[in-house]
C-alpha cells in the first residue's frame, strides 16, 4: 500500500498528463467525423510522435535545470540532412540514418560542452547554437526538396498488422532503449540530482558535469530521431525557421503539460510524451469543432500561457517570502 502511494506521488505529473491526454483524445475522436478508426489513430500518432521526440529531448535537458532552445533547430537540421542522406540502397540508407543520428549527437554535445565547460548560460548558448544549426540547415536546403528512402519511410509511418501505428511502436522502442536505461543509470540519477540542487549534488561528489553533458547529448540524439521522422512523413527536407521555432516552443509546452518541473529535478520523459500528445490533441480539437484554422496559433499560445501559469500556484504554499527569490 505504502509503496503504491510513493509511486503515485512520484508519477503524479505523468499520470495527470496521461489523464489530460485521454480526456482530450476521447473528446477529439468523439467529435471526429470518421470516429475512432485505425486511420485517425495513425494520423494522430504520426503527428504526436514528432513532437514527442522533441519533447523528450527537451525533458532530458530541463531535468538538469537547463533549457535547450535549439531543439527545434536540431530537428530542422537533421530533417534537411536526412533528405540528402537517407536514400538509395538499404546499406546506404542505414549509413545515412547513422550519420543523421551522429549529427544530432554532435549538436547536443556542442551545446553541452559550451554550457558545462564553457560555463555559459543555457538560454543564450542554445539560442546562438540554434542560429548556427539553422544556418547550416539553410545551406543544406536553401529551397525545400530532396527525397528519402520511401520503403523505410512508409514502413515507419504505416501500421503494423494493419492496426498499430508503427511510429508509436518506434517511440516505445526509443523509450525502452534510451530513456529507461538513462533513468536507471548513475548518470541519470546524477542528472536529477544536479537539477534539484546543483550545490548539494556537487558537494556529495555526484558526477554532475558528466550527467549534464550526457543529458544535452542525448537531447540532441532524440531531436535528430524526431528530424528523421519528419523526413519520413514529409518525404522532403525544408529549412523552415517558423517550424523550428514552433517545435522548440511546443516542446516546452509539452514538457510543462507533462509534469516536468522547469526548475529541474522533477518529472519524466514519459510524462513529456503524454504532454506532447495532449498538446497536439488540444491543438487539433479546433479542427473537429470547425473553428477557423487561423485561431490555432492563438489557441496554442493561450494553452501554453495557462500551462506555465499553473505552476505559480505553488507560491501560495510558500511560508517565507524570501523563497520567492529562489
Partner 1 sequence: MSDTTTARIAGRMPGFLRRADPAVATAFACIILLLVFGSLYSTSFLSPEYLLQQLKVASFLGVIASGMMLVILLGQIDLSVPWVVAVGAMMACAAAAHGTAGMVLAIPFGIACGVLIGLVNGIGVAYLRIPSMIITLATNAVAQGLMVVHTGGFSPQDSASAAMRWLATGFLLPGVPNAVVVWAIVGAAMVFVLTRTTFGRAVYAIGNRERAAYLSGVDTRRIVMIAFAVSGGLSAFGGVLLAGYASKAAQAMGDAYLLPAIAAVVLGGTSILGGRGSYLGTVAGVILITLLQSILSVMQMPEAGRQVIYGVVIIGMLLLYGRAPASR
Does residue 123 interact with partner 1 by CB under 8 A?
Answer: yes
SS3 label, residue 160:
strand
244: left (phi over 0), alpha (psi -120 to 50) or beta: alpha
SS3 label, residue 165:
strand
Dihedral Cα 74, 245, 252, 202, nearest 10 deg: 50
To the nearest whole angstrom, how small is the minimum distance from the Cβ of residue 280 to partner 1?
15
Does residue 114 interact with partner 1 by CB under 8 A?
Answer: yes
Q: Which three cell numbers stand for residue 15?
A: 499520470
Does residue 251 interact with partner 1 by CB under 8 A?
Answer: no
To the nearest whole angstrom, how small is the minimum distance from the Cβ of residue 250 to partner 1?
9
Nearest to 250 by CA among 296, 310, 216: 296
Does residue 325 interact with partner 1 by CB under 8 A?
Answer: yes
Does residue 99 interact with partner 1 by CB under 8 A?
Answer: no
Q: Which of 35, 315, 317, 319 binds partner 1 (CB under 8 A)?
A: 315
Please report where in the chains the cell 530537428 appears, as a residue: 75
Does residue 304 interact with partner 1 by CB under 8 A?
Answer: yes
Does residue 145 interact with partner 1 by CB under 8 A?
Answer: no
For the chain, how are helix, strand and coil distributed in percent, rounded to 5? 80, 0, 20
H or E stretch covering 288: helix 269-288
Does residue 91 interact with partner 1 by CB under 8 A?
Answer: no
Does residue 173 interact with partner 1 by CB under 8 A?
Answer: no
To the nearest whole angstrom, how small is the minimum distance from the Cβ of residue 144 to partner 1?
14
Q: Which residues bind partner 1 (CB under 8 A)?
A: 67, 69, 114, 118-121, 123-125, 127-132, 134-139, 142, 198-199, 202, 239, 241-242, 245, 249, 252, 256, 262-263, 294-302, 304-305, 308-309, 311-312, 315, 321-322, 324-326
Amino acid at each position: 500500500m505504502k509503496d503504491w502511494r510513493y509511486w503515485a506521488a512520484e508519477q503524479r505529473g505523468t499520470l495527470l498528463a496521461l489523464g489530460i491526454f485521454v480526456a482530450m483524445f476521447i473528446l477529439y475522436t468523439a467529435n471526429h467525423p470518421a470516429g475512432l478508426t485505425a486511420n485517425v489513430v495513425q494520423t494522430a500518432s504520426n503527428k504526436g510522435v514528432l513532437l514527442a521526440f522533441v519533447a523528450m529531448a527537451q525533458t532530458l535537458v530541463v531535468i538538469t535545470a537547463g533549457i535547450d532552445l535549439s531543439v527545434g533547430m536540431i530537428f530542422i537540421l537533421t530533417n534537411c540532412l536526412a533528405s540528402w542522406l537517407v536514400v538509395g540502397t538499404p546499406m546506404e540508407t542505414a549509413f545515412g540514418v547513422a550519420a543523421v543520428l551522429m549529427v544530432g549527437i554532435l549538436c547536443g554535445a556542442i551545446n553541452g560542452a559550451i554550457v558545462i565547460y564553457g560555463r555559459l548560460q543555457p538560454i543564450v548558448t542554445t539560442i546562438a547554437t540554434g542560429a548556427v544549426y539553422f544556418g547550416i540547415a539553410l545551406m543544406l536546403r536553401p529551397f525545400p526538396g530532396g527525397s528519402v528512402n520511401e520503403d523505410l519511410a512508409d514502413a515507419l509511418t504505416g501500421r503494423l498488422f494493419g492496426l498499430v501505428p508503427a511510429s508509436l511502436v518506434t517511440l516505445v522502442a526509443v523509450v525502452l532503449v534510451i530513456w529507461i536505461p538513462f533513468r536507471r543509470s548513475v548518470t541519470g540519477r546524477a542528472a536529477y540530482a544536479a537539477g534539484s540542487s546543483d550545490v548539494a549534488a556537487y558537494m556529495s561528489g555526484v558526477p554532475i558535469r558528466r550527467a549534464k553533458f550526457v543529458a544535452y547529448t542525448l537531447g540532441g540524439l532524440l531531436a535528430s530521431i524526431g528530424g528523421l521522422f519528419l523526413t519520413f512523413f514529409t518525404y522532403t527536407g525544408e529549412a523552415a525557421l517558423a517550424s523550428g521555432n514552433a517545435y522548440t516552443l511546443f516542446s516546452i509546452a509539452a514538457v510543462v503539460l507533462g509534469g516536468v518541473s522547469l526548475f529541474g529535478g522533477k518529472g519524466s520523459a514519459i510524462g513529456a510524451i503524454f504532454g506532447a500528445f495532449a498538446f497536439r490533441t488540444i491543438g487539433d480539437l479546433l479542427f473537429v469543432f470547425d473553428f477557423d484554422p487561423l485561431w490555432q496559433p492563438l489557441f496554442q499560445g493561450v494553452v501554453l500561457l495557462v500551462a506555465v501559469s499553473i505552476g505559480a500556484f505553488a507560491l501560495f504554499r510558500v511560508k517565507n517570502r524570501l523563497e520567492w527569490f529562489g
